[in-house]
Structure 1
Amino acid sequence: MASSTVPSSQPDRPPRPNLVFRQLRGPRSPAEFAASVRRAAREIGERVSCDARYVHRVEAGEIRCPNYAYERVFLHMFPGRTLTDLGFAPRSSVRGRRRRDDGDTPPAPVGAPALVTGESGGAPEPYDPYDTHHDYEESDVLRRAFMTGGGATVAAASLGPLALAPDASAAQRAVRRPGASDAGALEEAVRRIRVLDDRHGADGLYRRASAPLRAAYALLDAGATRQRTADRLYAGAGELAISVGWLAHDSGRFDDARSHYAEALATARVTGDLGLEAHAFCNTAFLARDAGRPREAVRAAQAAQRAARPLGSPRLMSLLALREAGGWAGLTDRAGCEQALARAQAYFDRGTAPADPEWMTFYGEAELEGLEAQCWSALGDWPRAARHARRAAELQDPHFTRNIALYTAELADDLARGGHPDEAAAAGMRVLDLLPEVQSSRVRTILAGTARVLLPHRRAAGVSAFLDRHASLPRPV
């Protein structure tokens, strides 16, 4: 991420030094502190080009409020603090546009000076021109996707089936403060993405879902007038970040997924939303397991359980215990895995509760069986894994087409590795029948692994037909 060359206007009065930030730097030199900022950014999947010059500018008061990327990094470095605790001005007072009684005007185009009105309403002051492209991009998406004139209508248009691109017809509409209709549109966008993912998988959705996510965070920046609306917007933006992260995860874009989950976690921490925090850690654990970082999976799942414990949802605790079990299985710790699986079953048996999160509609007996199957597969117990995978596929609600394909693909793989090539080929054929409807890199990856295992068994019943049909699949774009 390169430094911006956009010039800033010169304020009529000198900037106020950020003494708090200078104190937080301590005895470290600006260059040393900048290096620690870059390390912290990598920890949460962010990319910032912090150097000594940037640190000097912050401490001199030239940057009264950092952009979103730096905000996430600073809040990660100094947990429990807000931007104002770090010596920055509230974002609402230094946004890259003038504020009016009836809302905000759009920001200046890229290449124009970045101006904001001073605290006393006087001359404009510079707003972090050090990499401001991110903010302009968000504001542009906001104008196109979640604008005045019926936020719910615009969101519905932008999130139609398999067509998640923003509504270009809203591009020129004036910006206003978001209200309850915008919060509702955001919540509906999250639901619609989940429904489409359940039916079709992630590959066809991910890129088109990213623009609504940027728009959601721009809504937060626009600032709701009512606290209840602001809370809904924050929760909705966090859940949307997780949903888009999952689309990246399921389509094999692990780095993107990690960044989106970190975004959701930062949002949860800023607002103190334990439900959102538990959800973000839940998905982080799942991603870590799939990415080959089982110890991180265990720790993230345990963090999720700490956040979720006060929420009163046994089903949520059951799912989080399964996430932990997956991490222990990846570490080949059978005892740890079995203990977590036992907790998951015990919590599940308590049944549903009013506190169960809306996003957990996918979690039923089929998912319980499917996740347990994955644990036994990771431990190399193929017969046990196949038994649970078969039951998962049989129990799954037909609405969740992607999950049926996933469980059946896992069944095929377990059968192949367990020495049952004919049964594996039959299960693989059932997955191939579903692929025209399901676009999931994860399912395709499992199926490709099964095909490699079955190659030496081409003469077994049905195996040759499966391998030939699998080989004829079109390459994903």
Structure 2
Amino acid sequence: MPPTGQFHLAVLPGRTTFEEELMGAEVNSGRNTSLEALLAEFGYTHEQLADEVNRTAEQLFGKPANCTDRHVRRWIAGDVQRPWTQYLLPLQEIFGRGPEAMGFLERKSSKPLPTPAGPVQVRNADSLQRRTFIAGALVATLGIDQTPGHGRLGSSDIERIQGTISRLDAHFNGLGGGALVDVAVEYLLRLRHALDHCVYGERVERALNRAMAEVAACAGWSAHDCGQHERAAQLRNEALQAALLARDPVSVTRAWSDLAAQAEHGGRPAEAARINRAALSERHVRNHPLLSSLLHSRLADCLAQTGDPKSMGRHLAAAERTYDRVEVTGTPSWLRFLTHAELAGLAAIAHQSAGQYVHGEGHAARTLELLDERFTRNRAYYTVLLAELQLAQGEYERASATASSIRMDAVSSSRITARLERVTEVIRSQGGRT
């Protein structure tokens, strides 16, 4: 799994020549048939594997490994029993196997796989270990490790991929971004690998690109939930590119809407409003009432931020009217969060942006009354919003009680945690109870 940050290896020699590569590596007497079989199984040529090692190394270490097809030939020929770590770790990521399973021999002189260098506090190390454990468990639970890496893909493979995407979306709505961002990014890489190395027809190709757009969008919101805004922007751009390649109008509209949200959260509500208006003008949106309702709600918040409360009200009303035409059957997994409760919550957000705190509080309270129990993350978000709206009215005791009711132990979202901390700090500064 690719780490979230750049790791500096404790043992990462800078040798790039083959004479230096052989230093410290004993000569093997036999051909590495295990590695040779893996290349055949995954469909790699020597040059393609070298390129994949460099790409994976850049994700792991922040720079390529300078691997060439000659390195690969020497590994297969058995000239090197165990490659340097700068090659070995990417190989493990690519094939999902340990060194011995790839035909490399254990050397008594070999050092253990490196860990991130630099002083790390115990608290942070524990947190990292916990996130790594959760992410590893999610890979297995969500079925990401079953993504095909070679062979011919058909409709059954697409169905399994869609099932995994549904589980990704449900996890985000239930628990938040947290460890999910790395898991979603890993799944995106696996789907890209399938797109590059599997055999399929045009229909499956479009479905794969649509799946990549959906996963990139989920990863983008997860990154946003973790406060990783640059990463979120990059992932949302990837989602748009994949949606365009899929030639899927709904996926394209979703990608544009997410980029509008990116602009809004970046302090550019007028830009976000223009994007949402353009998305609403597309013909296919008229036949997709749930998507239309979401776009109207998000546009309403943008207009509130630009000082146009009348237009905000019109679009909130349009969101309600459009939602009345929604049919539950056939709803994409990423849109299943948009219930009557969520619609009230989006109205509360818009009223908060417009400075209409009493109306906003009413909508937020209605959201919490209607919200399904499975949306743990969203419940925490709207409870914090309710406390913010109460604070804005000077209701410190009520805000304190609201904030105290929030349980963040079941939610993994630094974005929500940061907002709750700000609410708590304001309450404390006013002498309120928490």
Bin of the TM-score, shorter chain as denominator length: 0.5 to 0.7
**Contact preservation (8 Å) 1:370, 1:388:** yes
Give a deviation string over 1:222-243, Cα, whole Å, max 9, x none.
2442223222211111100101
CA distance in 1, matches of 2:412, 2:270: 30
CA distance in 1, matches of 2:175, 2:358: 29
CA distance in 1, matches of 2:215, 2:309: 35
CA distance in 1, matches of 2:216, 2:94: 16
Offset of residue 353 of structure 1: 6.0
* Aligned CA-pair RMSD: 3.5
Q: Which structure 2 segments of 5+ residues have no match?
A: 1-15, 18-38, 55-65, 71-85, 98-133
CA distance in 2, matches of 1:290, 1:254: 9
Q: How does 1:12-91 map to 2 (within 5 A)?
A: none
Q: How does 1:318-333 map to 2 (within 5 A)?
A: 318-333=293-308
**Contact preservation (8 Å) 1:329, 1:378:** yes
Matched, 1:105 2:44: yes
Residues 416/170 of structure 1: CA separation in 2 closer, same or farther (3 Å cut): closer
Give a deviation string over 1:2-56, Cα, whole Å, max 9, x none.
xxxx99xxxxxxxxxxxxxxxxxxxxxxxxxxxxxxxxxxxxxxxxxxxxxxxxx
1:377 alignment partner, one of 341, 352, 376: 352
CA distance in 2, matches of 1:164, 1:247: 19
Give a deviation string over 1:111-131, Cα, whole Å, max 9, x none.
34469xxxxxxxxxxxxxxxx
Offset of residue 175 of structure 1: 3.5
Aligned residues: 331
Offset of residue 328 of structure 1: 1.1
CA distance in 2, matches of 1:359, 1:174: 25
Offset of residue 405 of structure 1: 0.7
Matched, 1:210 2:185: yes
Q: Which residue of 2 aligns with 1:420?
A: 395
CA distance in 2, matches of 1:426, 1:351: 36
Q: Which residue of 1 aligns with 2:426?
A: 453
Amino acid of the structure 2 residue aligned with 1:369? A
> In structure 1, the residue corresponding to 2:49 is in which secondary structure?
coil
CA distance in 1, matches of 2:313, 2:185: 38
Larger relative contact order (CA 8 Å, sep ≥ 6): 2
1:410 alignment partner, one of 385, 389, 396: 385
Give a deviation string over 1:236-278, Cα, whole Å, max 9, x none.
1110010111100111111111111111111111232101011
**Contact preservation (8 Å) 2:180, 2:222:** yes
Q: Which structure 1 segments of 5+ residues have no match?
A: 1-5, 8-99, 116-132, 146-157, 467-477
**Contact preservation (8 Å) 1:234, 1:271:** yes
Q: Which residue of 1 aligns with 2:415?
A: 442
Q: How does 1:382-397 map to 2 (within 5 A)?
A: 382-397=357-372
CA distance in 1, matches of 2:384, 2:96: 40
CA distance in 1, matches of 2:353, 2:240: 28
> In structure 1, the residue corresponding to 2:172 is in which secondary structure?
helix
Matched, 1:360 2:301: no
Q: Which residue of 2 aligns with 1:71?
A: none
Amino acid of the structure 2 residue aligned with 1:377? Q
Q: Which residue of 1 aligns with 2:230?
A: 255
Q: Which residue of 1 aligns with 2:221?
A: 246
> In structure 1, the residue corresponding to 2:343 is in which secondary structure?
helix
CA distance in 2, matches of 1:281, 1:174: 30
Amino acid of the structure 2 residue aligned with 1:318? S
Offset of residue 437 of structure 1: 0.3
Offset of residue 363 of structure 1: 0.4
**Contact preservation (8 Å) 1:285, 1:296:** yes
CA distance in 1, matches of 2:151, 2:299: 44
TM-score scaled by length of structure 2: 0.68
Amino acid of the structure 2 residue aligned with 1:105? Y
Q: Which residue of 1 aligns with 2:212?
A: 237
Give a deviation string over 1:126-173, Cα, whole Å, max 9, x none.
xxxxxxx9xx97x9856449xxxxxxxxxxxx98754569999999x9
**Contact preservation (8 Å) 1:412, 1:425:** yes
Residues 310/362 of structure 1: CA separation in 2 closer, same or farther (3 Å cut): closer
Q: Which residue of 2 aligns with 1:299?
A: 274
CA distance in 2, matches of 1:420, 1:194: 35
Residues 282/143 of structure 1: CA separation in 2 closer, same or farther (3 Å cut): farther
**Contact preservation (8 Å) 1:314, 1:353:** no
CA distance in 1, matches of 2:282, 2:135: 31
CA distance in 2, matches of 1:293, 1:438: 28
CA distance in 1, matches of 2:149, 2:313: 57
CA distance in 2, matches of 1:164, 1:359: 21
CA distance in 1, matches of 2:244, 2:287: 20
1:400 alignment partner, one of 375, 380, 384: 375
Offset of residue 436 of structure 1: 0.6
TM-score scaled by length of structure 1: 0.62
CA distance in 1, matches of 2:226, 2:49: 36
2:197 alignment partner, one of 213, 222, 226: 222
Residues 308/443 of structure 1: CA separation in 2 closer, same or farther (3 Å cut): farther
**Contact preservation (8 Å) 1:275, 1:307:** no
> In structure 1, the residue corresponding to 2:405 is in which secondary structure?
helix
Q: Among the aligned pairs, what percent are the same residue?
A: 27
Offset of residue 357 of structure 1: 3.0
CA distance in 1, matches of 2:159, 2:242: 18
Q: Which residue of 2 aligns with 1:97?
A: none
Offset of residue 361 of structure 1: 0.8
Amino acid of the structure 2 residue aligned with 1:372? A
**Contact preservation (8 Å) 1:288, 1:296:** yes
